[in-house]
Structure 1
Amino acid sequence: MKKEIKTHIQVNASPKKVWEVLTDFENHSKWNPFVRSIKGEVKEGNKIKVELGPEGTKPMTFKPKVLVFKEAREFRWLGHLLFPGIFDGEHSFELLENVDGSTTFIHGERFNGILVGLMAKKLDTEIKQGFEAMNEALKKQVEEYAFTT
């Protein structure tokens, strides 16, 4: 079974500024209500440790493989629950520069595996709300940061 969540938000700052906040992993716990921590050397091909979950829930810890890490453009990883084929998630963050200098931040995930059907309702509610909460928090953090630097 397959499922996809895709969210987006416009941030009034350049992709470079958005990227600076998004990839300042040491400070995620201060502003990010969904992706609570990212540890390890984040580069293509490496495994990292990611702790995530909607606010008010116990976070889950994954050790995904970084698929794409292109400065000010895209960050994508692939994680598995237990082992491949059970519940796989390809998480992505894309930054698109708009003509007015702002950035469209696209935050999504493609899910595959035998447990996806059982998790569909939770994905459509809690997880999607977690993505949207992160998007709003990122926008706030970046826009405040953009005006103080």
Structure 2
Amino acid sequence: MKHIQTEILIAAKPEKVWTVLTDFEKYATWNPFIKSIAGEKAVGKRLKTFIQPPDGSGMTFKPVVLNYDTNKEFRWKGKLGTSGIFDGEHYFRLVYMGENTTKFIHGEKFSGLLVPLMGGVLSKTEKGFQLMNEALKRECEKV
């Protein structure tokens, strides 16, 4: 198993961050990592997601929503091919820190047979998370 977790402080309330994070239609205008998401935002529903890590190939996958707790957490689980080969449980958490500040926690837990062989891909993925976090911060802090 491999776990990647990144964090950033955003000068906005969780409601604002959530609104930007869950407005999938606008991802192409600001998100450098997750280029698109389509589908119903509800537990048990399948999304169609296209990601492109920096200096990496793009990939479309169809994760299942595990949690959609408004203004708090959005979590899904995707897989490459069959379960157990290369699975990822991706999450976004929002923690209100007071003073109009939200901690955005963005991570993924990877499991499966191919994880030990995916070091380069996972490094690019972590960089993609950081780029997305910074872009989300800019988008939420626009006046």
- Common fold: TM-score over 0.5: yes
1:79-122 alpha-carbon deviations (Å, 9 max, x no partner): 00001000000000000000222000000000000000000233
* 2: CA distance, partners of 1:95 / 1:53: 23
User: What is the CA–CA distance in structure 1 between the aligned matches of 2:119 and 2:3, rounded to whole Å?
Assistant: 10
Q: What amino acid is aligned across from residue 30 of structure 1 in structure 2?
A: T
Q: Does 1:142 align with 2:140?
A: yes
Deviation at 1:54, TM superposition (A): 1.5
Note the aligned Cα RMSD (angstroms): 0.9
- The answer to which structure has the higher strand fraction is 2
Normalised by the length of structure 2, the TM-score is: 0.97
Aligned-residue sequence identity (percent) comes to 49
Any stretches of 5+ residues in structure 1 without a counterpart?
none
For 2:124, the equivalent position in structure 1 comes to 126
Counterpart for residue 41 of structure 1: 40
Distance in 2, Cα, partners of 1:67 & 1:75:
8
Q: What is the letter of the counterpart of residue 129 of structure 2?
A: F
Partner residue, 1:62: 61
CA contact (8 A) 1:88 1:113 kept: yes
Go from structure 1 to structure 2 and tell me whether the alpha carbon gap of 1:56 and 1:122 turns closer, same or farther (over 3 Å shift).
Answer: closer
Separation in structure 2 between the aligned mates of residue 28 and residue 51 of structure 1, nearest angstrom: 11
**Number of positions where the alignment pairs a residue of Structure 1 with one of Structure 2:** 143
SS in 2 for 1:98: strand
How far 1:58 moved relative to its partner?
Answer: 2.9
Taking structure 1 as the reference length, the TM-score comes to 0.93
1:9-28 mapped onto 2 (5 Å cutoff): 9-28=8-27
Distance in 1 between residues matched to 2:90 and 2:134, nearest whole Å: 18
Tell me the equivalent position of 2:89: 90
* Runs of 4+ residues over 6 Å off in structure 1: none
Give the helix-richer structure, 1 or 2: 1
